[in-house]
């Protein structure tokens, strides 16, 4: 099993940006923790972070050609704006889990819309960095036929 762990804008600033919302752990911590969680599931994890919408779209397209089995996606602010990311997920048809570190449901009105959600098998929010582990477990169970969509 191969998972793409895709993170959008400003997530490279974890540990610095609004620690009262996103915590003190860094993007490197996110990578380390998620890689360990994926390895424990017997999955290889490939990581990509970008502040550019187009690069995120290209990474989703490349996942198709690289035979990625599942996508763990935190589109960050593009969650609330990007039809392009939604279309890319629909184009590749790879099971994707939407992750948010913070509890977006209890935040500003403009964060209540998620364009990508319509193309995701599950959304995990408000679990901190553990949300990425939970997403990996969900994808492994789904791909292993343990659970259905």
Q: Which chain residues interact with ligand DQA by CB under 6 A?
A: 10, 74, 76-77, 79, 100-102, 104, 111
Q: How far apart are CA 6 and CA 135, in angstroms?
A: 12
Residue closer to ligand DQA (CB basis): 58 or 102: 102
Which residues, including other chains, have CB under 8 Å from residue 79's CB and lie 6 or more apart? 8, 98, 100, 104, 111, 114, 115, 116
Least separation in angstroms between residue 31's CB and ligand DQA is: 15
Q: How far apart are CA 140 and CA 39, in angstroms?
A: 11
CB of 95 within 8 A of CB of 123? no
Residue closer to ligand DQA (CB basis): 49 or 74: 74
Least separation in angstroms between residue 138's CB and ligand DQA is: 17
Residue closer to ligand DQA (CB basis): 66 or 103: 103
Partners of 73 in the β-ladder: 6, 98
Least separation in angstroms between residue 58's CB and ligand DQA is: 20
Show which residues are catalytic. Answer: 22, 100
């Amino acid at each position: 099993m191969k998972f793409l762990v895709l993170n959008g804008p400003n997530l490279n600033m974890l540990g610095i940006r609004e620690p009262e919302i996103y915590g003190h752990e860094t993007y490197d911590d996110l990578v380390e923790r998620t890689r360990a969680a994926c390895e424990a599931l017997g999955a290889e994890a490939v990581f990509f972070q970008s502040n550019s919408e187009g690069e995120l779209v290209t990474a989703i397209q490349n996942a198709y050609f690289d035979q990625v089995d599942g996508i763990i996606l935190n589109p960050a602010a593009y969650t609330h704006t990007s039809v392009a990311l939604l279309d890319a997920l629909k184009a590749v048809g790879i099971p994707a889990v939407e992750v948010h570190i913070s509890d977006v449901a209890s935040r500003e009105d403009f964060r209540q819309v998620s364009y990508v959600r319509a193309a995701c098998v599950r959304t995990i929010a408000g679990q901190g960095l553990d949300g990425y582990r939970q997403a990996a477990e969900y994808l492994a169970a789904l791909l292993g036929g343990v659970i259905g969509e």
